[in-house]
């Protein structure tokens, strides 16, 4: 069944990127590179995992009637909420960390030093 193959590919891609993000939290030296690794990779991986659920629920919805319609539509809502809020939250974390005086590892010069960009 072609739908199951697509679902397995989505699950594989999603789990791979989630593991990359989780290990990137431990392999990078400072907070900004950890934010770079973790937020982008886990957003992409979770997007593909929820897409796998959407594909599977939509397949059951198309073949057996409306038993999985709620699952499919609410997964789309969860996907939209996750994608919109993760990027915004990462931006807020990076801005707050720079304001609190967190420096990148082995940084030589900070171009935003002393500037108040509100």
In the range 43-102, which residues lie near other proteins by CB under 8 A?
A: 43, 45-46, 49-50, 52-53, 56-57, 70-71, 74-75, 77-78, 81-82, 85-86, 88-90, 92-93, 95-97, 99-100, 102
Q: What is the DSSP secondary structure assignment for residue 106, as one 8-state letter?
A: T
Q: What is the DSSP secondary structure assignment for residue 66, as one 8-state letter?
A: G
- As given in the structure block, the two tokens for residue 63 are 């073949």
The CA-CA-CA angle for residues 38, 43, 47, to 5°, reads: 150
Percent of the chain that is helix, strand, coil (3-state, to 5): 80, 0, 20
The footprint of other proteins (CB under 8 A) covers 4, 7-8, 11, 14-15, 18-19, 21-23, 25-26, 31, 34-35, 38-39, 42-43, 45-46, 49-50, 52-53, 56-57, 70-71, 74-75, 77-78, 81-82, 85-86, 88-90, 92-93, 95-97, 99-100, 102
């Amino acid at each position: 069944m072609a739908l199951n193959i697509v679902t397995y590919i989505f699950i594989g891609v999603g789990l791979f990127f989630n593991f990359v993000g989780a290990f990137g939290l431990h392999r990078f030296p400072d907070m900004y590179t950890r934010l770079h690794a973790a937020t982008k990779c886990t957003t992409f991986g979770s997007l593909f995992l929820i897409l796998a659920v959407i594909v599977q629920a939509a397949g059951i919805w198309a073949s057996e009637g409306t038993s999985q319609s709620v699952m499919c539509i609410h997964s789309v809502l969860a996907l939209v909420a996750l994608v919109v809020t993760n990027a915004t939250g990462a931006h807020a974390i990076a801005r707050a960390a720079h304001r609190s005086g967190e420096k990148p590892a082995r940084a030589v010069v900070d171009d935003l030093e002393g500037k108040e960009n509100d």
